[in-house]
């Protein structure tokens, strides 16, 4: 499996985008379907623009969720990006 490293610059793969209709749960639209995203997932996927490094995304989340364990944020962010990479939704 492929995990992002600190300098990885995740970006959504071609054909993938966030779909967010008012009053509905945000989803990541991929060629094979749609994946529901929770609020941290939306923040992570939104930052996958190729401009932000994995480290920068993790730091952004650590600032936003100060009460959470920083190591857990990093681990769970890497896990999500790895799963999305396996689904060919994110490149890094």
Give one word for 23, left, alpha or beta, with left for phi > 0 and alpha for psi -120 to 50.
Answer: left
Q: What is the pLDDT of residues 35-81, one digit of tens each?
A: 999 999 999 999 999 999 999 999 999 999 999 999 999 999 999 99
Asked whether residue 5 carries a pLDDT value surpassing 70, the answer given is yes
Tell me the pairing of strands 90-91 and 33-36: unpaired
Higher pLDDT, 14 or 32: 14
Q: What is the pLDDT of residues 9-28, one digit of tens each?
A: 999 999 999 997 777 789 99
- Set out the domains of the chain in order of their start, with CATH numbers: 11-86 (1.10.10.1150)
């Amino acid at each position: 499996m492929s995990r992002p490293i600190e300098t990885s610059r995740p970006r959504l793969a071609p054909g993938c985008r966030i779909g967010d209709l008012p009053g509905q749960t945000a989803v990541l639209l991929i060629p094979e379907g749609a994946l529901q995203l929770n609020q941290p997932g939306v923040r992570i996927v939104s930052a996958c623009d190729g401009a932000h490094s994995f480290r920068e995304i993790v730091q952004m989340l650590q600032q936003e969720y100060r009460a959470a364990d920083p190591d857990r944020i990093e681990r769970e962010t890497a896990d999500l990006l790895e799963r999305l990479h396996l689904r060919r939704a994110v490149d890094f």
